[in-house]
Amino acid sequence: MRLSLFLVVSLLVLSVSVCSANVFSSQTYQTSFIGWMRKHDRAYSHEEFTDRYQAFKENMDFIHKWNSQESDTVLGLTKFADLTNEEYKKHYLGIKVNVKKNLNAAQKGLKFFKFTGPDSIDWREKGAVSQVKDQGQCGSCWSFSTTGAVEGAHQIKSGNMVSLSEQNLVDCSGQYGNQGCEGGLMVNAFEYIIDNGGIATESSYPYTAAQGRCKFTKSMNGANIIGYKEIPQGEEDSLTAALAKQPVSVAIDASHMSFQLYSSGVYDEPACSSEALDHGVLAVGYGTLEGKDYYIIKNSWGPTWGQDGYIFMSRNAQNQCGVATMASYPISA
Q: What is the 3-state secondary structure (H, E, C) of the chain?
A: CCCCHHHHHHHHHHHHHHCCCCCCCHHHHHHHHHHHHHHHCCCCCHHHHHHHHHHHHHHHHHHHHHHCCCCCEEECCCCCCCCCHHHHHHHHCCCCEECCCCCCHHHHHHHHCCCCCCCCEECCCCCCCCCCCECCCCCCHHHHHHHHHHHHHHHHHHCCCCCECHHHHHHHCHHHCCCHHHCCCHHHHHHHHHHHCCEEECCCCCCCCCCCCCCCCHHHEEECEEEEEECCCCCHHHHHHHHCCCCEEEEECCCCHHHHCEEEEEECCCCCCCCEECEEEEEEEEEEECCEEEEEEECCECCCCCECCEEEEECCCCCHHHCCCCCEEEEEC
> Is 21 contained in some domain?
no
Q: Is 299 a catalytic residue?
A: yes
> What is the tally of structural domains in the chain?
1
Q: Which of 59, 279, 319, 321 is catalytic?
A: 279
Predicted confidence band of residue 6 (pLDDT cuts 50, 70, 90): very low
Predicted confidence band of residue 181 (pLDDT cuts 50, 70, 90): very high
pLDDT tens, position by position, 294-312: 999 999 999 999 999 999 9
Give the residue-averaged pLDDT of 144-159. Answer: 98
Of residues 202 and 94, which shows the higher confidence score? 202
> Is 281 contained in some domain?
yes
Give the residue-averaged pLDDT of 175-189. Answer: 96
> Is 77 contained in some domain?
no
State what percent of residues in the chain have pLDDT above 90. Answer: 84
Give the residue-averaged pLDDT of 214-239. Answer: 97
Q: Which of 59, 85, 138, 141 is catalytic?
A: 141
Q: What is the mean pLDDT of the chain?
A: 91
pLDDT tens, position by position, 152-166: 999 999 999 999 999
Which of the residue ranges 15-19, 133-137, 277-281 would you say has the lowest mean pLDDT? Answer: 15-19
pLDDT at 17: 40
pLDDT at 94: 83
> Is 1 contained in some domain?
no
CA distance 231 to 324: 7
Using the predicted structure, report yes or no on whether residue 99 has a pLDDT greater than 80: no
Using the predicted structure, report yes or no on whether residue 21 has a pLDDT greater than 90: no
> Is 76 contained in some domain?
no
CATH code of the domain containing 212: 3.90.70.10
Nearest to 265 by CA among 120, 75, 77, 72: 72
pLDDT at 227: 97
pLDDT at 104: 43
pLDDT at 43: 93
> Is 241 contained in some domain?
yes
State what percent of residues in the chain have pLDDT above 70. Answer: 89
> Is 14 contained in some domain?
no
Structure pTM?
Answer: 0.90
Using the predicted structure, report yes or no on whether residue 270 has a pLDDT greater than 60: yes
CA distance 261 to 255: 11
By residue range, what is the domain housing residue 276? 88-332
pLDDT at 12: 53
pLDDT tens, position by position, 30-72: 999 999 999 999 999 988 999 999 999 999 999 999 999 989 9
> Is 65 contained in some domain?
no
Q: Which of 85, 178, 196, 299 is catalytic?
A: 299
pLDDT at 96: 72
CA distance 215 to 206: 11
